[in-house]
Every structure is written in structure tokens, then in C-alpha cells.
Amino acid sequence: MDYISEHLSEEISLEKLAAVACFSPFHFHRVFSTITGETPREFIERVKLEKAANLLCIVKNKTVEDIAFYCGFKSVSSFSRSFKKFHGVPPVKYLEKHKHDCHSMNIVSELRLKNFDQADLSLVSIQKTPAYNVIYAQSLEGYRTGIPKAWTRVLTYARVHGLWREPACLIGLPYNNPGITPYDKCRYRACIPVEEGVELSKGEIKTQKIESATCAVFHFKGKRENITDAYSFLYGFWLRQSGYIPDEKPLMEIYPREIVTNSPKIPYTHQEILEYDIGLPINPL
């Protein structure tokens, strides 16, 4: 999945993926399909078309042709056919339909973007986030059930293996936009910062380097049902007027030190009121 996400603009063959995963093409196809519920080709096509939908909604200076080639399509016509078949409307109609609610379109039928005004823009600050070495557990089953399971696995591992050192924060990496990707397909990583020397490459728990990034940071405090409004504000209101576009680095949910204790609670599940920073990596337009 990581390899596919990083090489979307290329032709990705089954043989190449199998070699990356160190399987024969036959066994890789069976293993991948069993774990994900999609064949490698189905997964690649879905990720490409979801990426294209996201770009159409949030990037101002790209044409449909730019997005088609960026997402690995050889022509605008083939892209448009595939896009319409997957999303139900051609790219231009999709943009007209969803230009104000790109983080909400599968979540509710009505527009979720509130009547924000210019004063609300001050709620977002531009910050340079540090680099982190983290251990993580990944969920492939969606945000609702997958997030608490991922946090349970990584927090348990950290305590059992002596890696829990009261880090300054916990970091969640939501890889998909639930307004576009079906709930049960959304991918999430629950991350705990650890010392630089810690490296894990096999098993359920692995290590990852999270690069330093320039981020638009919005401090969210509210109930779970208000989370969609927060992302709608950040993507649908602030971003469009900011002079920035999203970077390719993953969005971060940074949970503050206050909830990081010797007996840590699991983000998203044990709190009546959630509080964390949403860090959207950005580049100048």
C-alpha cells in the first residue's frame, strides 16, 4: 500500500508489486486480496481515482489534464471514463458538485460547511513541526473501529517492551479523506514517538520517520460529531483563501501531552470531549 501511494503516477504491474513484497505474483495476489478485500488492480484504480477527486476539490492551479497525468492516466479521455464510472459523474461535474464540501460528501447529504467568516481564519496558525521517529500500528478497516484497535496495539506494545517514556505527544496519521474513501477502506496509523535508535521492520508494530513539515495547525476541541466540521473548515474554507496547497506528507492529528500519562488513554475512544491539533502539511501555492 505504501509503495502504491508513493508511485501513483507510474505504471504499477502485479509483477513489480510482488517483487517489492518478496512474493511470487500468484501468492502476492492471493495474500493482498485476502487482507484488503480488493485485488491489487482494484486497489490501485480506487486509490488513483480517490486521489484525483481530492486534488480536484482542493488544488486550484491544476487542470483536469494535470491531475489525470499526475495520477498515472495516459490520456484525459481514459481518465474521464474511469472517473465517471467510479464516481458517477465526469471530473468537471464532480468539482462543481463538491467544491464546498470535499471533506463531507459521503458523510452527510446536506452541506456541512458552516457560515464561517474572515475572523475564523485566525484560528489557524502556520507552524514548523519537528521530525519524529515513531513506532506505529496500522489499521486497514476504517476509522470507526480501526482507530481504537490501532492505539490499543501500539500502546500495549510500548508498555510491554519498555518503550513508553512519556513522549511529548501522540500522533495519529489518517491517510484517507472519509468524504471520498468509503469508511471501511480508510487507513490510519497510531504513532508514539520513540528514541532514534529504535528500529522495527517486521510484525504488527513498525517504525517510521515522520519528516519535519510546515503545517497549517488548527486546534480542535469538541465532541466526535464535530470533527467533520473542523476538517470542512480547514479544507473547505481556510485552505481556499490561504495561498497554500496541501503537501504530499500525511496529515497529522497531534494529541497534547496532557493526555499522555503513565496509563495513557486511547485517543478517540475514552474522552467525552476530544482535544488535539490538526496539522495539515502545506506548500505555497
Q: What is the pLDDT of residues 94-135, one digit of tens each?
A: 877 765 555 544 444 334 445 566 657 778 999 999 999 999
Q: Would you mind telling me the total number of residues written for the chain in this entry?
A: 285
Mean pLDDT of the chain: 84
What one-letter code names the amino acid at 128? Answer: K
**C-alpha to C-alpha distance for 108 and 266, rounded to whole angstroms:** 27
Residue pair 205/154 in contact by the 8 Å Cβ criterion = yes
Report all structural domains of the chain as residue ranges with CATH numbers, in order of start.
2-98 (1.10.10.60), 124-284 (3.20.80.10)
**C-alpha to C-alpha distance for 158 and 148, rounded to whole angstroms:** 15
What stretches of the chain show up as alpha helix (H) in DSSP?
2-6, 14-21, 25-36, 40-58, 64-70, 76-87, 91-98, 143-160, 227-231, 239-242
Residue pair 228/149 in contact by the 8 Å Cβ criterion = no
Q: What is the model's pLDDT at position 249?
A: 86
Q: What is the DSSP string of 260-271?
A: --SSPPPTTTS-
Q: What is the pLDDT of residues 162-178, one digit of tens each?
A: 888 776 789 999 998 88
Residue 263 has pLDDT above 90, yes or no: no
Residue pair 229/112 in contact by the 8 Å Cβ criterion = yes
Residue 267 has pLDDT above 70, yes or no: no
Q: How far from the centroid of its chain's Cα atoms is residue 11's Cα?
A: 23
Which H/E stretch holds residue 251? none
Q: Between 265 and 170, where is the model more confident?
A: 170
**C-alpha to C-alpha distance for 260 and 265, rounded to whole angstroms:** 7
Q: How many CA atoms lie within 13 A of 188 on its CB side?
A: 28
Q: How confident is the model at residue 239 (pLDDT cuts 50, 70, 90)?
A: confident
Which H/E stretch holds residue 188? strand 188-193
- pTM reported for the whole predicted model: 0.81
**C-alpha to C-alpha distance for 219 and 230, rounded to whole angstroms:** 9
Q: How do strand 170-174 and strand 132-139 relate by DSSP bridges?
A: unpaired
**C-alpha to C-alpha distance for 102 and 95, rounded to whole angstroms:** 9
**Which DSSP letter does residue 97 get?**
H
